[in-house]
């Protein structure tokens, strides 16, 4: 990887964005893939709008004919879609360091306005008053509040970690935000992602913790009556050694229900069956009558259609606490958990309340409902799937191609395999379950490659093939060996080496996302000072973490190993994109980079006072987080 010795090269982002906006309208090669990721329906249900991430466009689909029609080219990957309350404006988020929201006329698909927001805007929540727009800035960990009449950002509201989606309640009082990952010590007893409730009037926030092990939040919607917010996520059993997969031993897949008025968790139900996982839940939406909840499963290429009134009725039967002597195992012919706390562990909860429909194609992400049908965006297959609500066996699934049948190259096929849970024994998880976007889930896992009872923090897949050995304990000589071991020992699957080689190709294709600590691609003054400290002989960070990969590819004893580990040496990880991979160290004991340096004294003698002031440590941390 070629990178200047100091830091990232200067990036003229506004110029690149301007050029990118112009290029799609010029004569240029057709994109290799479309990559439909999100889909929404017009208010009358006659039109669908699909965000095609890989083709950098929004496409229109006529629900009457099922045919794709006009499209709007964009200067980058569309990451979020929403319609204004009056249906007259389509909001589309685009961009990485300098994110923007494009306001598009849904009838003509002409650009009406461009709004500046933060780093990698993803989710959008138009306020019911039609005057405000709440935008998730994923890698700034905050929400932009846009005054639509003026087109100006009025405030940034901090949230927890990687806000990924948002919805506003119909009464306009609250905006709910899903935080993609947890932020906590990974060696603690409780590690869970949170939902942020924003008071739309004051901007004040409150946190709604999800059950322990919640991570990978991808989908959010609100029921038509405004009473419940629904969230899809993974529910990991990270305290258990990875000895088996049966009954969701490692990862389960969940739908959490939030009481919108009282801003609290009602409960979390599992989307899996007892012996068949429903991996990587993504998009979620409701039918207009509130009868059906539809959840797309990215890992198993399915749609769950859930009787939501039935779910609420069943939850209402369950006591808050286990009654003396226990509860009867069956009520009305159905098993009922003994208490509300048992529900997130009940793999049979949705029996008789849900249909699982296998879809044509691969990579189910966004889902929308229009005129009695559910439409699912199949990311890898460049198509939508349509099915009747409720599913009735007639014309159950129809395929709506958005373009030619894609021909996957090795990198694309590797991404498909990395994301495919049907490879896994009983379909509980994919590689992407623990490595969303090929990065981290924020958890420690007790893999068995270096013994048992010694969990290690999850590592990003970025640059793994360039920075051997693999794993914190260095037990795999190469990333290639780690990929093959992962299929055997984590997915409990045997795959052809061709499949593993394609996953290698996909992981090798990953590129770093520019850090949110950079300003227009440049270091801040504080980070410039931190860079001087980093490369100084007195501080010596570059001894073990030299550029350009910011690792010396060696193992070192840094004094952090505890029993039952015996080998004190830990592989030196790359620091590139470490701003995205908290918590830190092999056991995830430090939540922030500053904490690692200040409290952990990482890289400094443990028995001596720190040689740097707190101000210096902050500057050093800012430089490292700029990589």
- Asked if residue 569 is part of any domain, the answer here is yes
Shared domain for 494 and 543, answered yes or no, is: no
Phi and psi (nearest 5°) for 198?
Answer: -105, 125
Q: What is the mean pLDDT of residues 529-548?
A: 97
Shared domain for 502 and 533, answered yes or no, is: no
Query: Residue 101 pairs with which residues in a beta bridge?
Result: 93, 115
Compute the C-alpha angle 114/119/125, nearest 5°: 60
Q: Helices 497-508 and 479-489 meet at what angle, rounded to 10?
A: 130
| H/E run at residue 415 | helix 410-419
Taking the C-alpha atoms of residue 446 and residue 439, their distance in angstroms, rounded to an integer, is 18
- Asked if residue 46 is part of any domain, the answer here is no
Q: What's the confidence (pLDDT) of residue 176?
A: 98
Q: What's the confidence (pLDDT) of residue 23?
A: 31
Shared domain for 545 and 614, answered yes or no, is: yes
Q: What's the confidence (pLDDT) of residue 329?
A: 59
pLDDT tens string 353-373: 999 999 989 999 999 999 999
Among 559, 584, 565, smallest CA distance to 573 is for: 584
User: How is 437-500 classified by DSSP, letter by letter?
Assistant: GGS--S-EEB-TBTBSS--EE----TTGGGS-SBSTT--BSSHHHHHHHHHHHTS-----HHHH
Q: What is the mean pLDDT of residues 484-504?
A: 97
Residue 145 has pLDDT above 70, yes or no: yes
Instruction: Out of 508, 540, 573, pick the residue that ends a domain.
Output: 508
Q: What is the mean pLDDT of residues 492-516?
A: 97
> Over pLDDT 90: what percentage of the chain?
89
Compute the C-alpha angle 290/383/411, nearest 5°: 125
Q: What is the mean pLDDT of residues 9-23?
A: 35
Q: What's the confidence (pLDDT) of residue 394?
A: 58
Taking the C-alpha atoms of residue 530 and residue 536, their distance in angstroms, rounded to an integer, is 10
- Asked if residue 284 is part of any domain, the answer here is no
Q: What's the confidence (pLDDT) of residue 322?
A: 81
Range of the domain at 499: 412-508
Range name among 7-16, 309-318, 418-427 with the lowest pLDDT average: 7-16
Q: What is the mean pLDDT of residues 525-552?
A: 97
Taking the C-alpha atoms of residue 396 and residue 392, their distance in angstroms, rounded to an integer, is 7
Q: What is the mean pLDDT of residues 365-382?
A: 97
Q: What is the mean pLDDT of residues 204-219?
A: 98
- Asked if residue 470 is part of any domain, the answer here is yes
- Asked if residue 389 is part of any domain, the answer here is no
Shared domain for 489 and 533, answered yes or no, is: no
Phi and psi (nearest 5°) for 87?
Answer: 75, 10
- Which 3 state secondary structure label does DSSP give 561? coil
Q: What's the confidence (pLDDT) of residue 556?
A: 95
Shared domain for 492 and 532, answered yes or no, is: no
Q: What is the total count of domains within the chain?
A: 2
| Per-residue pLDDT band at 512 (split at 50, 70, 90) | very high
Q: What's the confidence (pLDDT) of residue 54?
A: 97
Q: What is the mean pLDDT of residues 240-248?
A: 96
Contact (CB, 8 A) for 244 and 261: no
Residue 611, token pair as written in the block: 């040689």
- Asked if residue 607 is part of any domain, the answer here is yes
pLDDT tens string 579-607: 999 999 999 999 999 999 999 999 998 88
- Asked if residue 346 is part of any domain, the answer here is no
Query: Residue 220 pairs with which residues in a beta bridge?
Result: 231
Instruction: Out of 508, 533, 564, pick the residue that ends a domain.
Output: 508
- Using DSSP bridges, classify how beta strands 121-126 and 132-137 pair: parallel, antiparallel or unpaired: antiparallel
Taking the C-alpha atoms of residue 374 and residue 356, their distance in angstroms, rounded to an integer, is 13
Q: What's the confidence (pLDDT) of residue 328?
A: 57
Q: What is the mean pLDDT of the chain?
A: 93
Residue 17 has pLDDT above 70, yes or no: no
Q: What's the confidence (pLDDT) of residue 393?
A: 65
Shared domain for 542 and 495, answered yes or no, is: no
- Output DSSP code: residue 538: T
- Asked if residue 350 is part of any domain, the answer here is no
pLDDT tens string 41-100: 999 999 999 999 999 999 999 999 999 999 999 999 999 999 999 999 999 999 889 999
Shared domain for 542 and 607, answered yes or no, is: yes
b/e burial code for range 525-555 (CB count within 10 A of at least 16 → b): ebbbbbbebbbeeebebbebbebebbbeeeb
Shared domain for 529 and 618, answered yes or no, is: yes
Residue 114, token pair as written in the block: 């461009």
Q: What is the mean pLDDT of residues 558-569?
A: 91
Taking the C-alpha atoms of residue 609 and residue 604, their distance in angstroms, rounded to an integer, is 9
Taking the C-alpha atoms of residue 81 and residue 39, their distance in angstroms, rounded to an integer, is 7
Shared domain for 594 and 549, answered yes or no, is: yes
Q: What is the mean pLDDT of residues 197-215?
A: 98
The CATH number that applies at residue 586 is: 1.10.760.10
Q: What's the confidence (pLDDT) of residue 396?
A: 76
Residue 216 has pLDDT above 50, yes or no: yes
- Output DSSP code: residue 405: P
Residue 525 has pLDDT above 50, yes or no: yes
Among 363, 371, 349, 220, smallest CA distance to 293 is for: 220
User: How is 70-103 classified by DSSP, letter by letter?
Assistant: EEEE-SS-EEEEEE-TTS--EEEEE-SSS-EEEE
């Amino acid at each position: 990887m070629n990178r200047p010795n100091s830091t990232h090269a200067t990036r003229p982002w506004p110029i690149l964005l301007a050029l990118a906006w112009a290029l799609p309208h010029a004569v240029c090669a057709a994109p290799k893939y479309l990559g439909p990721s999100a889909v929404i329906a017009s208010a009358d249900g006659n039109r669908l709008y699909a965000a095609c991430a890989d083709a950098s466009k929004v496409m229109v689909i006529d629900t009457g004919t099922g045919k794709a029609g006009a499209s709007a080219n964009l200067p980058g990957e569309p990451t979020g879609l929403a319609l204004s309350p009056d249906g007259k404006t389509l909001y589309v988020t685009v961009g990485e360091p300098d994110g923007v929201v494009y306001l598009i006329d849904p009838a003509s698909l002409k650009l009406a306005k461009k709004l500046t927001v933060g780093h990698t805007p993803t989710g959008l929540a138009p306020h019911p008053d039609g005057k405000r727009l709440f935008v998730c800035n994923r890698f700034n960990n905050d929400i932009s509040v846009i005054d639509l009449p003026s087109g100006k950002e009025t405030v940034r509201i901090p949230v927890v970690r990687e806000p990924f989606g948002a919805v506003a309640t119909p009464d306009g009082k609250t905006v709910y935000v899903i935080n993609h990952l947890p932020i906590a010590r990974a060696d603690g007893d409780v590690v869970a992602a949170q939902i942020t409730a924003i008071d739309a009037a004051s901007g004040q926030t409150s946190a709604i913790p999800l059950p322990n092990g919640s991570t990978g939040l991808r989908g959010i919607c609100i029921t038509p009556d405004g009473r419940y917010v629904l969230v899809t996520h993974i529910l990991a059993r990270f305290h258990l050694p990875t000895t088996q997969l049966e009954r969701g031993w490692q990862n389960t897949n969940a739908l959490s229900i939030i009481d919108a008025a009282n801003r609290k968790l009602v409960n979390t139900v599992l989307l899996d069956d007892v012996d068949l996982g429903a991996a990587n839940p993504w998009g979620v939406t409701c039918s207009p009558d509130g009868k059906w909840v539809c959840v797309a499963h990215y890992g198993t290429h399915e749609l769950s259609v859930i009787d939501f009134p039935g779910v609420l009725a069943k939850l209402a039967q369950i006591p808050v606490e286990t009654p003396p002597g226990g509860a009867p195992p069956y009520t009305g012919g159905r098993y009922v958990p003994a208490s509300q706390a048992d529900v997130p562990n009940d793999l049979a909860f949705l029996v008789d309340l849900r249909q699982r429909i296998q879809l044509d194609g691969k990579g189910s992400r966004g889902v929308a409902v229009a005129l009695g049908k559910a439409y699912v965006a199949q990311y890898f297959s460049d198509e939508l799937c349509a099915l009747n609500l409720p599913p009735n066996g007639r014309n159950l699934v129809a395929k709506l191609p958005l373009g030619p049948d894609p021909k996957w190259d090795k990198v694309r096929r590797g991404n498909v395999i990395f994301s495919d849970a049907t490879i896994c024994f009983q379909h509980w998880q994919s590689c992407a379950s623990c490595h969303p976007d090929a990065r981290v889930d924020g958890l420690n896992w007790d893999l068995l490659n270096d013994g048992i009872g010694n969990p290690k923090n999850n590592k990003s897949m970025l640059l793994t093939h360039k920075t051997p050995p693999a794993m914190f304990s260095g037990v795999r000589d190469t990333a290639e060996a780690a990929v093959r071991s992962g299929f055997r020992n984590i997915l409990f699957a045997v795959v052809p080496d061709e499949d593993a080689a394609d996953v290698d190709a996909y992981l090798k294709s990953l590129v770093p996302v520019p850090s949110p600590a950079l300003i227009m691609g440049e270091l801040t003054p504080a980070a410039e000072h931190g860079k001087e400290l980093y490369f100084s002989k007195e501080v010596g960070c570059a001894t073990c973490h030299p550029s350009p990969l910011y690792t010396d590819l060696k193992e070192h004893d840094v004094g952090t190993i505890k029993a039952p580990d015996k080998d004190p040496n830990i592989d030196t990880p790359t620091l590139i994109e470490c701003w995205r991979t908290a918590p830190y160290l092999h056991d995830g004991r430090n939540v922030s980079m500053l904490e690692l340096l200040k409290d952990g004294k990482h890289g400094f003698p443990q028995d001596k006072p720190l040689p740097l002031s707190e101000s210096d440590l902050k500057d050093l941390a800012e430089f490292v987080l700029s990589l």
